[in-house]
Amino acid sequence: MIIKSENNDFVNIEKISVIYNAEIPQSLTIAKEAEKDLLSREVDVELQALYPSRTKKTKEFSRDISLAIAIGGDGTLISIARFYAQFDIPVLGINHGRLGFLSQLSKDNIKEGFDSLFNGNFQIEERLMLNVFDSPNESFNFNALNDVVIKGGALARTEKLYLYLNDRHVCDYLADGLIVSTPTGSTAYTLSAGGPIVTPCLDVMVIVPICPHSLSTRPLVIPGDEKITVKTDSHWSELYITADGQKNYELDKKNVIEIKKHPKKAKLIIIDRKNNSFYSVLRQKLHWGVSPREGAV
């Protein structure tokens, strides 16, 4: 069965994988409810369990599917969407975590959400991803949908980081660390560090220092096709690079970190565009632009 979306994308929903975070209570119950509904629509369905704490690497999910449904929090959806981006498989999120900023559905509106999906009342948003690796050795190679973070370990010390764009020296940071974010990640760690909110449709990357020891250092928003290089000078403390808060590698001063736009994009299914637009979600879930009086009601 092929369904045409509101933005003229075509989605094959003959085989759907329902992937649930097995470490969140009641997620299996929600997965079985989703499975039951999909089976009643004569769709081939499979259940897969995700155990985030058991391994630092993304689980090798089934590739023989046409659509993935992620049940859990934002971290669950990010992990699944990042994996399936390489196969151009779209992902629909059902929130069963805390914030659920990226998920479109909740456990209370699964049937209504699936009705919209099967009726073509949805859109597919393509989200920019990052690829980060160590040049020239490639001792690590990660992909990220949210952000890449370079940060110290156990000791509370500032780090000296050198930023280059397209092999040209831009600036030096004396800071706790550095975040390179996608538009999707601009509402995550980047937001907490004082970075800008960026609408997800933009082809840009955001560079934000973490607690810089400076009165003049500001975040940078750069075109998505630029190459970011970060060199380190860490003599005294551990320094780590982390992708989406899920993959990490301990650096040393010899590492040269390169970050580029990934050639593939994550595909997220957006249902009820009017009430689930980026700005609506900002207002509803992050209380953006809500006055104290209004927020108290």
**What are the pLDDT tens digits along the chain (297 aa)?**
889 888 888 888 889 999 999 998 999 999 999 999 999 999 999 999 998 876 534 557 888 999 999 999 899 999 999 999 999 999 999 988 676 778 888 888 899 999 999 999 999 999 999 999 998 777 899 999 999 999 987 667 788 899 999 999 999 999 999 999 999 999 999 999 999 999 999 999 999 999 999 888 899 999 999 999 999 876 656 889 999 999 888 887 778 999 999 999 999 999 876 666 788 878 877 877 776 665 544
Domain range annotation of the chain: 2-127+265-296, 130-261
SS (H, E, C) the chain: CEEECCCCCEEECCEEEEEEECCCCCHHHHHHHHHHHHHHCCCEEEEEEECHHHCCCCCCCCCCCCEEEEEECHHHHHHHHHHHHCCCCCEEEEECCCCCCCCCEECCCHHHHHHHHHCCCEEEEEECCEEEEEECCCCCEEEECCEEEEEECCCCCCEEEEEEECCEEEEEEEECEEEEECCHHHHCHHHHCCCCCCCCCCCEEEEEEECCCCCCCCCEEEECCCCEEEEECCCCCCEEEEECCCEEEEECCCCEEEEEECCCCEEEEEECCCCCCHHHHHHHHCCCCCCHHHHHC
User: CA–CA separation, 251 vs 235, rounded Å?
Assistant: 11
pTM: 0.91
pLDDT at position 78: 94
User: CA–CA separation, 165 vs 80, rounded Å?
Assistant: 30
User: CA–CA separation, 297 vs 50, rounded Å?
Assistant: 38
Fold of 2-127+265-296: Rossmann fold (3.40.50)
User: CA–CA separation, 186 vs 196, rounded Å?
Assistant: 7
**HSE-up of residue 190 (Cα within 13 Å, Cβ side):** 26
User: CA–CA separation, 27 vs 262, rounded Å?
Assistant: 31
Evaluate whether 219 touches 196 at the Cβ level (below 8 Å). yes
pLDDT at position 98: 73
**HSE-up of residue 184 (Cα within 13 Å, Cβ side):** 25
Structure tokens at 260: 């580029």
pLDDT at position 276: 65
User: CA–CA separation, 69 vs 291, rounded Å?
Assistant: 35
The sign of the torsion formed by the CA atoms of 61, 67, 73, 79 equals positive
Q: Do domains 2-127+265-296 and 130-261 have the same CATH topology?
A: no
Evaluate whether 194 touches 126 at the Cβ level (below 8 Å). no
pLDDT at position 296: 47
| Residues composing the chain | 297
Evaluate whether 117 touches 3 at the Cβ level (below 8 Å). yes
Locate tokens 């560090």: which residue?
193
Fold of 130-261: Tumour Suppressor Smad4 (2.60.200)
**HSE-up of residue 266 (Cα within 13 Å, Cβ side):** 30
Evaluate whether 17 touches 62 at the Cβ level (below 8 Å). yes
pLDDT at position 224: 97
Evaluate whether 192 touches 209 at the Cβ level (below 8 Å). no
Enzyme catalytic residues: 74
